[in-house]
């Protein structure tokens, strides 16, 4: 049975890891960190090593919050659910969307160049 205390702890763990993952998404904006690592490097590494990424996040989770009480276990479980969702859901879908978006941008650029060429040829014929 999930008690209100356990549900609150799970929600708190999920919220903490949501904030941590949001901070990871802004690693390119931290002046000293961007010299050493980029968001694309992190996402590529996580995409190539999802199991190890989950083990690392769970190790951090357990080291910080322990397993000494039911509330801390519920807290860890909330974090585990978010970590698994990000590692196996969000990051792979971001890679898919980034690839599709880059293809759309390339097609748009090609279309704009073709339109400029046609307008230039029409202006040349009119003059």
Per-residue pLDDT, 88? 93
Contact 12, 81 (CB under 8 A): no
Is it the case that residue 121 has pLDDT exceeding 90?
no
Q: In this predicted model, what pLDDT tens digit does every residue of 97-115 receive, in sequence order?
A: 777 777 888 888 888 898 9
pLDDT band per the 50, 70, 90 thresholds, residue 45: very high
Gyration radius of the chain over CA positions = 23
More confident residue, 51 or 92: 51
What average pLDDT is seen over the chain?
88
Distance in angstroms (rounded) separating the CA atoms of residues 25 and 47: 14
The DSSP result for 27-59, as a single string, is GGGSTTGGGT--HHHHHHHHHH-HHHHHHHHHH
Q: In this predicted model, what pLDDT tens digit does every residue of 50-88 receive, in sequence order?
A: 999 999 999 998 998 888 888 889 999 999 999 999 999
Share above pLDDT 70 across residues of the chain, in percent, rounded to a whole number:
98
> CB neighbours (10 Å) of residue 15?
13
> CB neighbours (10 Å) of residue 80?
19
Per-residue pLDDT, 1? 64
Is it the case that residue 42 has pLDDT exceeding 80?
yes
Distance in angstroms (rounded) separating the CA atoms of residues 97 and 41: 17
**Domain boundaries, given as residue ranges, for the chain:** 4-93
């Amino acid at each position: 049975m999930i008690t209100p205390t356990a549900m609150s702890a799970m929600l708190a763990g999920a919220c903490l890891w949501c904030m941590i993952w949001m901070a990871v998404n802004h690693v390119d904006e931290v002046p000293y960190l961007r010299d050493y690592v980029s968001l694309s490097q992190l996402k590529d590494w996580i995409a190539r090593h999802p199991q190890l990424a989950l083990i690392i996040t769970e190790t951090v989770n357990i080291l910080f919050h322990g397993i000494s009480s039911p509330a801390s276990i519920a807290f860890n479980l909330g974090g585990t659910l978010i970590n698994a969702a990000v590692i196996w859901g969000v990051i792979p879908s971001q890679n898919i969307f980034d690839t599709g978006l880059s293809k759309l941008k390339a097609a748009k650029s090609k279309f704009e160049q073709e339109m400029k060429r046609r307008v230039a040829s029409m202006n040349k014929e009119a003059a």
